[in-house]
Chains A and B, each alone.
Chain A
Amino acid sequence: MGKTLSLFMFELKLFFKNITNLIFVLFFPSSMILLFGSVFGNEPSEMFGGYGTIDVSVPAYICMIAAVTGLMSLPITLCTYRQNKVLKRLRATTLSPLNIIGTQFAVNFAMTVIGIGLLIIIALAVFHFQLMGSVVVVALLSALVICCVFSIGLLIASVFKNAKTATAIANIIYFPMIFLSGATIPIELMPEAVQKGANILPLTHAVNVLKSAWLNKPFAEYSVSFFILLAIFVVCSLLSVICFKWE
């Protein structure tokens, strides 16, 4: 087994030993779909512009899952590893820096995909929901959303050296973001002022992009959000590369 793959499997095992991660990536989104689905069903609803609750919830929950792995798991693991000198120790092996950071990225990416997969399987099996847009477009945009959220996580890990501070910051960013962006509670339920204010949150644009693509809306309707995500990804990635410290 290659060394990078070995590190990947090692970290994947550790991910499965983290109960908080498992609850928020696997259990929570699926339970929410089951809960809201059993209450509202997937009948066309006026509030969601004629779409069903499940149809609009699944793309939003994809963003919620990416937020857990990208804003919590990724930066907290990196900061803990930095503080415990694990990063430094790994650097003194045949692994390249890209191997080390890339594996953290890849493990969280893989777990996000698994979380999304589970969510979609449950939604399909229980509620007969449909993807109205193109599978390829939705998959590519999901990848963009994950990369964008992860780049924010990497930036948190680069700027805040201490694991405790990083955890606090991750929580401060994570919780308002998942509740106000529409990732957990449909943004349509929010007062108009909140809906407008939520536009400063990157996750709002992530939800908007995925939801629009999911419902097969024309690109023009979500192009602004798309370019905002792209810009966030580029800027945060660059800044993390510049600011990142191994110890």
Chain B
Amino acid sequence: MIRVENLFVKYGSLCAVSGVSLAIKDGEAFGIIGRNGAGKTTLIEAMEGLRKRTSGKIDINGIDPSDSRKKEELYRMISVQLQSTNYPDKAKVGDLCKLFGAFYNNTIDYRELLKKFGLLEKFNKPVSSLSGGQKQKLSILLALISRPKIVFLDELTTGLDADARHELWKYLKELKSDGVTIILVSHYMDDVEMICDRIGVMSNGQLIHVGTRDELTNASGLARRVTFTCSADILTLITDMPGVVRAECIGDQYTVVACDENFPEKCADYFDNRNILYKDFVVSRPTLEDVFLRLINENNGGDLNG
């Protein structure tokens, strides 16, 4: 169980985390999304014991991460993958794995992990021979060697290609089914959507919403996303339609997000009545990104669209 109560982290006069409270259950996968500078990394680094808090409480399975006497116990239980760690170029992949293995008892066989991540043939190769994606995989792999109960992953899939991301999602789902708690910070909505049970939305140092994907969608008030192609310039027309929250047009590809469930039908009728020609009319639920943008903008008090 992880509990954060009324957490504040200040850098001088800047308040990076401002009054965050949060509870994460054992075995849960929790995602934190937010714009750059929203305070996501600061929040999890305070939870990881890597950043001093200004005030508030943090409890990681009964341990206060700022308690230096409990440091060993803490880092046997949790593991971290930091945003952009560059391991020494000349170090061999295998040596790094052995090194991190030596820090803990009861570790996973790193050869097995390397195999799983497709890095076994790199065992005797230096870090400099890895691609960006492989380096990222290595960084995640090193966080898993200790059989942690809680894993913190910061910007998990940065630099990974589509295949590697899908592979990683699969692996993290396995990890989750083994009962490992996962805390994930990401810019990529699909990472969070694929892996996380609950999602926290951060803005300006505050956790403005917490919930499942569906709960967040409900909170945003968004109901439908419609995409279609149309060669006429009808963006202003659409933007002015009732229920439209966001409309954008790139080339002849329109995307409309609306808070009215019946918007697709109304929209189609509207086009038919005015003899507007359109095709590839696709209706779906709002994406997490739609929801996220809506929640963030509402919180900023703006009617900024997107």
Nearest Cβ distance between residue A90 and chain B, in whole angstroms?
Answer: 9
Nearest Cβ distance between residue A107 and chain B, in whole angstroms?
Answer: 13
Task: State whether the Cβ of A217 lies closer than 8 Å to any Cβ in chain B.
Answer: no
Nearest Cβ distance between residue B5 and chain A, in whole angstroms?
Answer: 22
User: Which of chain A's residues have a CB closer than 8 A to the CB of B85?
Assistant: 84-86, 88-89
Task: State whether the Cβ of B88 lies closer than 8 Å to any Cβ in chain A.
Answer: yes
Knowing A13-B95, A88-B82, A89-B82 touch, does A94 contact B76 (C-beta < 8 A)?
yes
User: Complex Cα distance A215/B251, Å?
Assistant: 85
Chain A residues at the B interface, C-beta cutoff of 8 Å: 1-3, 6-7, 10, 13-14, 17-18, 80-81, 84-86, 88-89, 91-96, 246
User: Complex Cα distance A19/B24, Å?
Assistant: 49
CB–CB B102/A84 < 8 A: no
For B68-88 the 0/1 string (1 means CB < 8 A from A) is 000110011001101111111
User: Which of chain B's residues have a CB closer than 8 A to the CB of A81?
Assistant: 88
Q: Which among A14, A17, A18, A89 has the greatest number of chain B C-beta atoms within 10 A? A: A89
Chain B residues at the A interface, C-beta cutoff of 8 Å: 48-50, 71-72, 75-76, 79-80, 82-88, 90-91, 95-96, 98-100, 102-104
Pick the contact of B99: A2, A7, A18, A91 (CB < 8 A): A7
User: Which of chain B's residues have a CB closer than 8 A to the CB of A89?
Assistant: 80, 82, 85
CB–CB A3/B50 < 8 A: no
Nearest Cβ distance between residue B49 and chain A, in whole angstroms?
Answer: 7
Nearest Cβ distance between residue B16 and chain A, in whole angstroms?
Answer: 14
Q: Which among B48, B85, B90, B104 has the greatest number of chain A C-beta atoms within 10 A? A: B85
CB–CB B82/A94 < 8 A: no
Nearest Cβ distance between residue B28 and chain A, in whole angstroms?
Answer: 21
CB–CB B50/A94 < 8 A: no
Knowing A92-B48, A92-B49 touch, does A6 contact B86 (C-beta < 8 A)?
no
CB–CB A95/B103 < 8 A: yes
